[in-house]
Chain A
Amino acid sequence: MAPEAFSFASVSKRFGAVQANAAVSFSVQDKSIHGVVGENGAGKSTIMKLLYGLYTPDEGSITVRGKKVKFRSPQDALAEGIGMVHQHFMLVPTLAVWENVVLGSEPHAWASNRKKSLARLSEIQKEFGFHLDLEAKVETLPVGLQQQVEILKILYREAKILIFDEPTAVLTPQEVDTFIERLRGLQAQGKTIIFISHKLKEILKLTDRVTVMRQGKVVGSWETDSLTETSLAEAMIGRKMHSLPHRTPTPAAEPLLKAEKLSVTSAHRRVLSDLSFSLRAGEVVGVAGVDGNGQQEWIETLARVRSDYEGHLTWKGQDYRAWSTYDFKQRGLGVIPPDRLFEAVILDFTLSENVLLGHHFATEVTKGGRVFWPQLAKTTSDLIHRFDIRPNDPQARMGGLSGGNQQKLVVSRELSRNVQLLVAAHPTRGVDIGAIECIHSEILRLRDQGAAVILFSSELDEILALSDRILVLYNGKIQGECTRAEADETQIGLWMTGGSQ
């Protein structure tokens, strides 16, 4: 048995009524890559934040290299050689790479020693095989390199245990491969790596051991070699997976939605240029691409949030601007907005009120401009039952729900009407596996009923699982297009990064 890097012994943490971690025990071997997987709200972030000193445990103890520790802050954890790369980067975009790395641990309180820092950084770069331009401004770097800056930051602070929180969520398939190589390199240099992820493929490819968490508890820890994708997924959700329903091909039909040379200019920048595409009844068109290549503007245009586009956009032969947004929603436009918290729900409102959002003149719950709350509560209850949303209480505040349940409510609301066009933007972002399954099967059910669906997602797996046709967006243009049968992950990945054939 290899020596132990750190271990948890019966660690519990409670936030108000929520037991985030209950008697969590597991240990991680030194110089290994250890995966931590679980659904959202399974407690994996909390347990890592306990290790990183952001929270203190209510009960239990943490042992690092045989020594019992009590961290009061991330500084304490860093002193013991524990560093964390957060999901959302904490970088100052206008500063150079080396400045970002040194920031917060300058050798003197009043001045930074540029020469010394640069020398040390070059040394670290050489040792771990990084090739960053230390003088480059962080804002000019692509996301993959920005992540390397984050890693450099904790290496500079001499961390021996590196925690990565969903590191691959922001990367393209190609970047993921280099990233995985990089983690292997770090392991070879004697670092211990904790890899928190949703993506089972990566976990299986990369890790030595895996700990699965569910509902704040540890389900178990296994050698990765003994696991398959299915067994891991089932351990995570605690039951058997349903397989995706069988796919019948879309009958050829006249397009419902047609765009010709659609362009959008935002803040004097052309963010979408000359898009031409069409959507037929009974098909799912997936739009793949790294975030920030014009998806937001495309979604907003289709969702009728913005109408300042150039070119032609028609729905059943009629100009897209013919109806008001509200009227269009009543006539069969469903939208799952990209940013759940800011665009899809209102956290201060009850579930009922959130169901009313976007349908506040709908006839079955309002009459003469008056809202009938009891009726609405019944409608909400029905949706709650159909989609298994928790808690089962129309009066509960939206803000108290987990991300997955919030998203299920959004999906149920948007699909509760007779939807003919669904614009689904990142419908499963930040949502656990159980909810993903539910949302995916609802989208496909809608397709089979003859609706047109356009799906935006940064998860290639999701695009591949759902789409009949795939468009790849890069830099405001459609870089490539293929059918479900032709889809090739490598080719799509190339298109996503601006390559052609």
Chain B
Amino acid sequence: MRALLRSMAPPVLGLGFSLVAAALLLLLLGEKTTVLWEALYNSCLTDFGLGYTLFYMTPYLFTGLGVAVCFQCGLFNIGGEGQLYLGAIAIVAVASVLPNLSPWFGIPLGILVAAGAGGTWGGIAGWLKAKRGSHEVIVTILLNFIAFAIVNYLILYQFDNPNSQSPETLDVGPGYRIASLSSLFGALGLSLFDSTPANVSLFIAIATAFAAYFFLFHTSRGFALRCVGKSIRASEFAGISVQSQTLLALALGGAFSGLVGINEVMGSQHKVIEGFSPQYGFTGIAVALLARSHPLGVIVSAFLFGVLQNSARELEFLSDKVTKELAVVIQAILIGFVAAQAVWGKPFLRWLSREKKR
């Protein structure tokens, strides 16, 4: 319990510090700090705000897992952004080939192709790293550009909606739609999260996090993957194939990121809009860092980033001095504090416990 508290303390303190920093920032802009608390309150504790927070949380959870599983293997997956677009367009593609499936087949198929498309993209990076020794950071970054180009081409020339002025695809059929949370609770006679895009993908994401946890910490293959992340030499002497673990980790990471498509396409928009992601893939790196690459921690940190994302929206609405970019600044401060906890975390904890003793 104490150990858990100690490991939780730096991220929580980092969050606290970044809120203080955000408040100071608002003061500098000549805004009352109360709007910050109001925005936070709205996005955490109101029905409507929480609905949006949970909607934003879902993609962060997927991309956070996509980065975390690679971190566990000692790999840096920066390809989440490309992987998630490919996952999304893959659902549209399969929906256009098999438009009239029943939800019993359409939804599992959609989930499968989203994971498959992202997983293939991650797997390419893994294969290049394992067989050719190409650095995964460079490969995943470059693969992002290729993915963007492919997806934009497909949106504009293959699956485009001729009745729309904006670059977006046709809607997927009803067999590929995941229920929203409001309709789910509505069926139970509750009025929750009405007119918010939060949908059942959230539960799939949480289940995925638990599955990833079970895989990494309770299976032989997951153990082998973590060994490679800790020591390549020791893994070789233990008879673990570093190459196949590398391939596996990046393919899994890609698959998790690809699942973002189900929240966007099957859960809310029912189509792919060009540039729908506010860089979920890149922010996923911060989500994983905050969670220290623990799959269950990713659930918590994805929620926090959902809150941040939504609070930024609220702030923009509540104050005319604050822009969306401020949220990015707050996020950056938070990431900075968390990433630098090696520098300030331990001394700070020591200082705290010394205070207590007196």
Measuring CB to CB, which residues of chain A are less than 8 angstroms from any residue of chain B? 303-305, 324-329, 335, 337, 339, 342-346, 348-349, 353, 356-358, 360-361, 366, 369-371, 373
What number of A-B contacts does a CB cutoff of 8 Å give? 64
Q: Could you tell me if B220 and A369 are in contact, using CB atoms closer than 8 angstroms?
A: yes
The stretch of B135-143, B148-156, B236-244, B333-341 that contacts the partner chain: B236-244
A-B contacts, 14 of them at CB < 8 A, read A305-B236, A325-B239, A326-B239, A327-B239, A343-B231, A343-B233, A343-B236, A357-B234, A358-B237, A360-B227, A360-B240, A370-B219, A371-B223, A373-B218
Q: Could you tell me if A370 and B239 are in contact, using CB atoms closer than 8 angstroms?
A: no
Question: How far apart are the CA atoms of A370 and B234 in the complex, in Å?
Answer: 21
How many Å from the CB of B239 to the closest CB on chain A? 4
Q: Could you tell me if A360 and B220 are in contact, using CB atoms closer than 8 angstroms?
A: yes
Q: Could you tell me if A369 and B219 are in contact, using CB atoms closer than 8 angstroms?
A: yes
CB neighbours of B6 from chain A (8 A): none
* Chain B minimum-CB-distance residue to A323: B239
Question: How far apart are the CA atoms of A143 and B219 in the complex, in Å?
Answer: 46
Q: Could you tell me if A342 and B231 are in contact, using CB atoms closer than 8 angstroms?
A: yes
B224 within 8 A of A: yes
Q: Mark B209-253, 1 if CB is under 8 A from A, else 0.
A: 000000000111101100100110110111110000000000000
Q: Could you tell me if B219 and A343 are in contact, using CB atoms closer than 8 angstroms?
A: no
Total interface residues on B, using CB and 8 Å?
Answer: 16
How many Å from the CB of B3 to the closest CB on chain A? 10
CB neighbours of B234 from chain A (8 A): 337, 342-346, 357
Contact A349-B240, Cβ < 8 Å, known A371-B219, A371-B220: no
Q: Could you tell me if B239 and A329 are in contact, using CB atoms closer than 8 angstroms?
A: yes
Question: How far apart are the CA atoms of A342 and B232 in the complex, in Å?
Answer: 8
CB neighbours of B231 from chain A (8 A): 342-343, 346
Going nearest first, the 7 A-B pairs with the smallest beta carbon separation are A358-B238, A326-B239, A325-B239, A360-B220, A346-B230, A343-B233, A357-B238
Question: How far apart are the CA atoms of A324 and B237 in the complex, in Å?
Answer: 12
CB neighbours of A324 from chain B (8 A): 239
Question: How far apart are the CA atoms of A343 and B223 in the complex, in Å?
Answer: 17
Q: Could you tell me if B220 and A370 are in contact, using CB atoms closer than 8 angstroms?
A: yes
Q: Could you tell me if A305 and B219 are in contact, using CB atoms closer than 8 angstroms?
A: no
Question: How far apart are the CA atoms of A304 and B110 in the complex, in Å?
Answer: 43
Other-chain residue from B219, B220, B230, B237 in contact with A348 (beta carbon distance below 8 A): B230
Question: How far apart are the CA atoms of A353 and B238 in the complex, in Å?
Answer: 12
* Chain B minimum-CB-distance residue to A337: B237
Q: Could you tell me if B237 and A343 are in contact, using CB atoms closer than 8 angstroms?
A: yes
Question: How far apart are the CA atoms of A360 and B241 in the complex, in Å?
Answer: 13
Contact A369-B221, Cβ < 8 Å, known A324-B239, A346-B227: yes
CB neighbours of A304 from chain B (8 A): 239
Question: How far apart are the CA atoms of A181 and B227 in the complex, in Å?
Answer: 48
Question: How far apart are the CA atoms of A174 and B32 in the complex, in Å?
Answer: 80
Among B230, B231, B239, max chain A CB count under 10 A is at B239
Question: How far apart are the CA atoms of A326 and B223 in the complex, in Å?
Answer: 14
CB neighbours of B230 from chain A (8 A): 346, 348-349
